[in-house]
Amino acid sequence: MNFYEIVNKRRAYRSLLPFEVKEEMIKELVELASLAPSCFNKQPWRFVFVYGKENLEKIFSTLSEANAWAKKASMVIAVFSKPDLDCIVKGREYYLFDTGMATANIILRLTEMGLVAHPIAGFNEEEAKNVLNIPQEYRIITLIIVGRHNENYTEVLSEKDANSEKNRPPRKNFNEIAFLNTL
Amino acid sequence: MNFYEIVNKRRAYRSLLPFEVKEEMIKELVELASLAPSCFNKQPWRFVFVYGKENLEKIFSTLSEANAWAKKASMVIAVFSKPDLDCIVKGREYYLFDTGMATANIILRLTEMGLVAHPIAGFNEEEAKNVLNIPQEYRIITLIIVGRHNENYTEVLSEKDANSEKNRPPRKNFNEIAFLNTL
């Protein structure tokens, strides 16, 4: 797959089947994340890879009701960081932006592997910090829900979720997000 | 190139040669950015593609002294956004993280095309907003400096910059950024 094919294949599916988590895969994902660029090479990104029935159940307990579909994941990656792990240039904090670039590497590699990697914001951050033993001063930015795509999904999904399962949610037009030389 | 090869090829080089900017390339980069995931599909990312001698000179005037090397770029991509273009979930702002994921797509595609795409934080944000006509309430997060890599660089670089030109700046070890199941 070339890069366009990987990016185009990536979809935030909600219908998941299990897969076998291997430590080798985790090592590869961490290496890819670590190769991302960051302000003065600060590498502010941190990840907890959660897998195995008992560990998963604890992190599943922190999900919002709307994310019940995520409980079929075989792995959850908690992405966390804090402002002082990265540059702060005249009020511009770089930790979220740089962690986003590193997280993209993980999501795209999982996509290339044929898996679904669906980042979510709907979880109880305080509870998740407790479960994962992440100190208070950090922010858990997202949980990446990882599974194999169930193409013949049988889950009970809302009409909206079922729709976004079938068709990619619409994207903004070129002119809404891009400008040539000046606004 | 598979995904690992692209990620591994990406380097923040400072020795640049010119290339021809084509609008078709810009369209492709914007499409790739737009396919990134974002909280509730908000797509908070915005980009100004700056090219052509006169336009470039204006944006070059906003660079910090340490980024004088960037004045050999044939294109500069200003990445901008603002908090209310994306989700804010219990104080967690998503605009920088999501824009980071979309920006990764641009940087990686430029890398696949054989170009250098070097994101920098050293610029005068107010002046850059003026030059690009970006309203005050936005943040310019980064300028991506785009050029062709000059492998036989002749520029006067500081010892530190010349070193990072030859060897990738060191990455943190697995155990410094990744955790299995709990910290």
**Best residue in A29, A85, A90, A101 for a mutation probing chain B (most B CBs within 10 Å):** A101
Higher pLDDT, B160 or A97: A97
CB contact under 8 A, A181 and B8: no
* pLDDT for position A69: 95
Give Cβ neighbours of residue B175 (< 8 Å, ≥ 6 apart): none
Q: Looking at beta carbons, which residues of chain A come within 8 Å of B125?
A: 90, 92
Q: Is A149 helix (H, G, I), strand (E, B) or coil?
A: strand
* Among the partner residues A30, A39, A170, nearest to B178 by beta-carbon distance: A30
Q: Looking at beta carbons, which residues of chain B come within 8 Å of A3?
A: 1, 3, 6, 32, 108-109, 112
Nearest to A40, CA basis, from A75, A97, A88, A87: A87
Q: Residues B138-166: what's their mean pLDDT?
A: 86
Q: Please tell me the pTM assigned to this model.
A: 0.96
* pLDDT for position B155: 64
Tens-digit pLDDT profile for residues B18-69: 999 999 999 999 999 999 999 999 999 999 999 999 999 999 999 999 999 9
* pLDDT for position B154: 63
Question: Among the listed ranges A85-89, A178-182, B119-123, B161-165, which one has the minimum average pLDDT value?
Answer: B161-165
* pLDDT for position B152: 80
CB contact under 8 A, B97 and A108: no
| Dihedral (CA of A68, A71, A73, A75) sign | positive
> What number of other Cβ atoms are within 10 A of residue B150's Cβ?
17
* Among the partner residues A51, A121, A183, nearest to B92 by beta-carbon distance: A121
Residue that is written with structure tokens 């690992």 in the block: B4
CA dist., res. B97 & res. B32, Å (int) = 16
* pLDDT for position B161: 79
- Local confidence pLDDT in tens for the 183 residues of chain A: 999 999 999 999 999 999 999 999 999 999 999 999 999 999 999 999 999 999 999 999 999 999 999 999 999 999 999 999 999 999 999 999 999 999 999 999 999 999 999 999 999 999 999 999 999 999 999 999 999 999 887 666 777 778 888 899 999 999 999 999 999
Q: Looking at beta carbons, which residues of chain B come within 8 Å of A133?
A: 182-183
| Per-domain boundaries in chain B | 3-155
Least Cα separation, residue B154 to chain A (angstroms): 23
Tokens linked to B33 = 């950015």
Nearest to A111, CA basis, from A27, A43, A29: A29
* pLDDT for position B22: 97
CB contact under 8 A, A92 and B139: yes
CB contact under 8 A, A32 and B7: yes
Question: How many residues belong to chain A?
Answer: 183
CB B46 within 8 Å of CB B138: yes
* pLDDT for position B107: 98
* Among the partner residues A41, A89, A97, nearest to B96 by beta-carbon distance: A97
ipTM for the predicted complex: 0.96
A178-180/B46-51 β-pairing? parallel
CB contact under 8 A, B43 and A172: yes
Tens-digit pLDDT profile for residues B61-115: 999 999 999 999 999 999 999 999 999 999 999 999 999 999 999 999 999 999 9
For chains A and B, count residue pairs whose Cβ atoms are closer than 8 Å. Answer: 209
CB contact under 8 A, A46 and B179: yes
> What number of other Cβ atoms are within 10 A of residue A100's Cβ?
29
CA terminus-to-terminus distance, chain A: 35
- Which secondary-structure segment (H or E) carries A177? helix A174-177
**Domain B3-155, second-level architecture:** 3-Layer(aba) Sandwich (3.40)
Dihedral Cα B118, B121, B126, B129, nearest 10 deg: 30
DSSP E strand boundaries for chain A: 16-17, 46-51, 75-81, 88-89, 92-93, 115-120, 139-149, 178-180
* pLDDT for position A154: 63
CATH 3.40.109.10 given to domain A3-162: yes
Q: Looking at beta carbons, which residues of chain B come within 8 Å of A98?
A: 100
Question: For the residues of B86-152, what is the DSSP string, one character each?
Answer: S-EETTEE-HHHHHHHHHHHHHHHHHHTT-EEEEE--B-HHHHHHHHT--TTSEEEEEEEEEEE-SS
pLDDT band at B16 (very low <50, low <70, confident <90, very high): very high
Give Cβ neighbours of residue B161 (< 8 Å, ≥ 6 apart): B14, B69
**Separation in Å, CA B115 to CA A121, A137, B17, B108:** 34, 38, 10, 9
B139-149/B16-17 β-pairing? antiparallel
Nearest to B59, CA basis, from B136, B142, B115, B149: B142
CA dist., res. B29 & res. A180, Å (int) = 13
Q: Looking at beta carbons, which residues of chain A come within 8 Å of B8?
A: 35
Q: Average pLDDT of chain B? A: 95
Q: For residue B118, list its beta bridge partners.
A: B145
Q: Tell me which chain A residue has its CA closest to the CA of residue B120.
A: A39
CA dist., res. A20 & res. A22, Å (int) = 6
